[in-house]
Amino acid sequence: MSSERLPSYGGQALIEGVMMRGSRYVAAAMRSPDGEIVVDTKELPAIYKSNLRKIPFLRGLIMLWDAMGLGIEFLTRSANVQSDEEEKIEGPAFYLTLAVSLLGGALVFFVGPAALGHFFESLTAANGWWGNLIEGAIRLVLIVGYIWAIGKMPDIKRVFAYHGAEHKTINAFEDGAVLTPENVSRYSLEHPRCGTAFLLTLVIFSIILFSLLGPLPIGWRLVSRIVLLPLLAGVAYEYLRWTANNIENPLVCILIKPNLALQHLTTREPDLSMLEVSISAFQAMLAKETQQEDAVPVDQTASTPVTVLSD
């Protein structure tokens, strides 16, 4: 597998599992309550195979969908694996959950701070530029504070440990290591292409862009925060792509330090059973990508039963 294709691989932590995404397929491995590893694979939507992924800035829309739509879909699938049949979210209920989650995220982290920034301007008669900066600061504090707060919850700590397992697995693969839990455990929890890095970069660029817009009436201000979100995603993606391709540059090493630091809030050290799940997800994804079962060095001695949920 050539190094040029490595940046197309990404992932996300799930509930008792990990999702791994390639350029054409996505696979999730989840540990069920009875201890089995359940693997769920699916072909990616057409947008991943369209010319959009080759167009600078526009291809950032795919990253935005990764962070929101596809991520929420597989979080729901992982929750279903842990639930009784009567508690599963499927059909119309799933799409309603997806829509509410996307809308809620946009309102809380983009529209909400914009409204608060406008309120600050009207309360203090401050210049609109200051209101935009206050808005950006509120957005940054909200996101970092939210991540910090949920990281204190025991269940979320386990999700963050699976996040660490995802990073370690991709780091090990990119280093050419045989993917066994023992080998993978030695690799770093940090990864420059992390979705957390994308989120932080998106927020930083939003502060810059919205400040340049200057003062706006409240209606236009709120609308702009939603309408310009795809543009921000495109800029953030290109920035992350540039840093990933120039990771040896000393300046880049300095620039990515905030992104790597934030990952300390969203990752925990995984145990070997979590790494086994993450490796299963990566192997399933890579096998589908290459249409062969021996696409990556694999530990053939793993004893945990694996069940394929769908294909």
Above 80 in pLDDT, residue 234? yes
Binned at pLDDT 50, 70 and 90, residue 57 comes out as confident
A 10 A CB-CB count for 60 gives 25
pLDDT at 97: 66
91 lies in which domain range?
3-310
Arithmetic mean of pLDDT, 165-169? 95
SS3 292: coil
More confident residue, 50 or 292: 50
SS3 194: coil
Q: Say if CB 20 and CB 172 are below 8 A apart.
A: no
The candidate with the shortest Cα–Cα distance to 142, out of 194, 179, 107, 185, is 107
Above 70 in pLDDT, residue 239? yes
Diameter over CA atoms, the chain = 68
Percent of the chain with pLDDT over 70: 82
pLDDT at 171: 93
pLDDT at 172: 94
Strands (E), 32-171: 37-43
Per mean pLDDT, which range of 71-85, 121-135, 234-248 is the poorest?
A: 121-135
**Could you tell me which residues are beta bridge partners of residue 298?**
179
A 10 A CB-CB count for 115 gives 16
Q: How far apart are the first and last CA of the chain?
A: 23
pLDDT at 93: 65
Arithmetic mean of pLDDT, 71-90? 77
Per mean pLDDT, which range of 51-65, 82-96, 144-158, 204-218 is the poorest?
A: 82-96
Distance CA 283, CA 287 (A): 6
SS3 300: coil
Arithmetic mean of pLDDT, 77-106? 72
User: What are the tokens at 254?
Assistant: 């300095």
Model pLDDT for residues 121-166, shown as the tens digit of each residue:
777 766 667 788 888 889 889 888 988 999 899 989 999 999 999 9
Binned at pLDDT 50, 70 and 90, residue 119 comes out as confident
Arithmetic mean of pLDDT, 225-253? 88
Distance CA 61, CA 45 (A): 13
More confident residue, 279 or 297: 279
Binned at pLDDT 50, 70 and 90, residue 180 comes out as very high
pLDDT at 27: 94
Distance CA 237, CA 247 (A): 15
Binned at pLDDT 50, 70 and 90, residue 100 comes out as confident
Q: Residue 124 carries which side chain, given as an amino acid letter? A: T
The candidate with the shortest Cα–Cα distance to 16, out of 3, 29, 2, is 29
Average pLDDT score, the chain: 82
φ, ψ for residue 296 (rounded to 5)? Answer: -145, 145
pLDDT at 221: 87
Number of domains observed in the structure of the chain:
1
Model pLDDT for residues 1-34, shown as the tens digit of each residue:
333 344 457 789 999 999 998 888 999 999 999 9
Above 70 in pLDDT, residue 297? no
A 10 A CB-CB count for 307 gives 13
**Which of left, alpha, beta for 135 (phi over 0: left; psi -120 to 50: alpha)?**
alpha
Give alpha helix (H) positions in 151-256.
154-174, 181-184, 195-213, 218-227, 229-245, 250-255
Distance CA 62, CA 38 (A): 26
Percent of the chain with pLDDT over 90: 28
Task: Show contacts of 216-225: CB within 8 Å, 24+ apart.
Answer: 216/128, 218/115, 218/118, 221/114, 221/117, 221/118, 222/111, 222/114, 222/115, 225/110, 225/111, 225/114
φ, ψ for residue 302 (rounded to 5)? Answer: -60, 135
Per mean pLDDT, which range of 53-57, 77-81, 208-212, 297-301 is the poorest?
A: 297-301
Distance CA 145, CA 5 (A): 35
DSSP 8-state class, residue 151: T
φ, ψ for residue 87 (rounded to 5)? Answer: -95, -5
